[in-house]
Amino acid sequence: MGLAKNFFSQTRKPEGFLGKMMLGTMNAGHAKLADWGFTRLPAFTPERVVDLGCGGGRNAGELLKAYPKAHVTAVDYSELSVEKAKDFNKAMIAAGRCKVLQGDVSDLQLPAGMFDLATAFETVYFWPGLEKCFAQVAKVLKPGGCFMICNESDGTDPTSLKFEKIIDGMKNYTAEEIGAALKTAGFSDVQTDHHPSRPWITVLAKK
């Protein structure tokens, strides 16, 4: 149990050998969820996008494909994740369309009002205080900008609740809890969607 706990805890902040192993599974392991999440995004053409908690960088790459005229900034507080995301998106970084930064979502060191779209796939479970972090996201979005959260857990499914007991600092939120925190942080027009057969959720909000 000790080794398993240490391995699964790497989902929070990949570090060391186990962190590299975890990152090796993240892009493929979260792909189906993320691809479903992409279908819930509104039809618009953002110029600047930020992917928060970017992990291995696959979703930043998909955002670059979805919005071929956009610049994507990917942010993660794990040094290993930043390295992995840079390697995954090296062609787009070289082309000047992508940037990968190490940063903390509770204190985003990004220009205010810069982004049209912010995304957070499989990451808010570990954010240190939703209202505080969501306020940081609101700060870097343009007026009218969109923020989408995509989670594998709806906050009630038994499997995810088991992992909550294994992984220190993990909290599975319901769509209602996320929506309430978004409104407290200054977002409006909060819309939630639940996958028809899985406990997957998206929450989309407008600044």
Name the strand (E) or helix (H) holding 51: strand 48-52
Looking at residue 25, its pLDDT comes to: 64
Q: Read off the tokens for 200.
A: 């997957």
Whole-angstrom distance, CA of residue 8 vs CA of residue 140: 31
Token representation of residue 159: 């499997």
Tell me the backbone φ, ψ of residue 8, rounded to 5 degrees. -65, -25
Domains along the chain? 2-206 (3.40.50.150)
Sign of the CA dihedral running 179, 180, 181, 184: positive
Main-chain dihedrals φ then ψ at residue 109, nearest 5 degrees: -95, 60
Q: Residue 24: what pLDDT?
A: 58
Per-residue pLDDT of the chain (207 residues; tens, 9 = 90+): 454 444 444 455 555 544 455 555 666 767 999 999 999 999 999 999 999 999 999 999 999 999 999 999 999 998 999 999 999 999 999 999 999 999 999 999 999 999 999 999 999 999 999 999 999 999 999 999 999 999 999 999 888 888 777 777 789 999 999 999 999 999 989 999 999 999 999 999 999
Whole-number Cα distances in Å, 5 to 1, 162, 172, 204: 6, 11, 17, 32
Number of H helices, E strands in the chain: 9, 7
Query: According to the model, what pLDDT value does residue 30 have?
Result: 78
How far is CA 167 from each of CA 89, 128, 150, 154, 161, rounded to the nearest angstrom? 29, 14, 19, 17, 10
Q: What is the pLDDT of residue 162?
A: 81
pTM above 0.85, yes or no: yes
pLDDT at 161: 84
170 CA to centre of own chain: 14
**pLDDT of res. 14:** 52
Select from 67, 53, 50, 52 the least CA-distant residue to 114.
Answer: 50
The backbone torsions φ and ψ at residue 168, rounded to the nearest 5 degrees and listed phi first, read -60, 135
What per-residue confidence (pLDDT) applies to 17?
Answer: 45
Distances (CA, A) of 73 to 18, 76, 100: 26, 10, 6
